[in-house]
Amino acid sequence: MPIDDLDALRAEIDALDHQLLALLAARLDVARTIGKLKIERGMAVTQPEREATLLVERERLAETLGMDPARARALFENLLAWSKTAQRRDQANRGDRS
C-alpha cells in the first residue's frame, strides 16, 4: 500500500473519530437531561432494567453490523457508567441524592 493511501486512510479515521466524539458529547448532553428528569420524578440514577435491555439491544445491533457483540457491550457499559457519573455529579451539585 502506498504511503499516500495510508495517510488518506488515517485522515479518514481521524475524521470519523471527530464525528464519534461529537456524537458522544451529544449523547452525554441527552443523558444529563434525562438525569434532570429523574430528579424531578424522584427516580434513581441507576435503572437496571433499562440498562439490561439497552445492552442486549446494542449487542444484537453490533452482531448485525458484523461487529464483536462483547466489545460493543463493553463500550456501552462504559458509556452508561459515564452517563451515570454525569447524572450523579449534577444531582450532587443540586444537593439531590438518588
Angle between helix 69-94 and helix 48-64 axes, rounded to 10 deg: 150
How does DSSP assign 68-97, residue by residue? -HHHHHHHHHHHHHHHHHHHHHHHHHHT--
Residues 28-63 pLDDT 10s: 999 999 999 998 999 999 999 999 999 999 999 999
Domain carrying residue 27 = 3-94
- When the pLDDT of each residue in the chain is averaged and rounded to a whole number, the result is 93
Q: Has residue 84 got a pLDDT over 90?
A: yes
pLDDT at 94: 81
pLDDT tops 50 at residue 73: yes
Question: Into how many domains does the chain fold?
Answer: 1
The answer to whether the pTM exceeds 0.85 is yes
- Record the cell numbers describing residue 53, joined without a space: 435491555
Q: What is the CATH number of the domain that holds 43?
A: 1.20.59.10
Q: With 70 as the cut, is the pLDDT of residue 7 above it?
A: yes
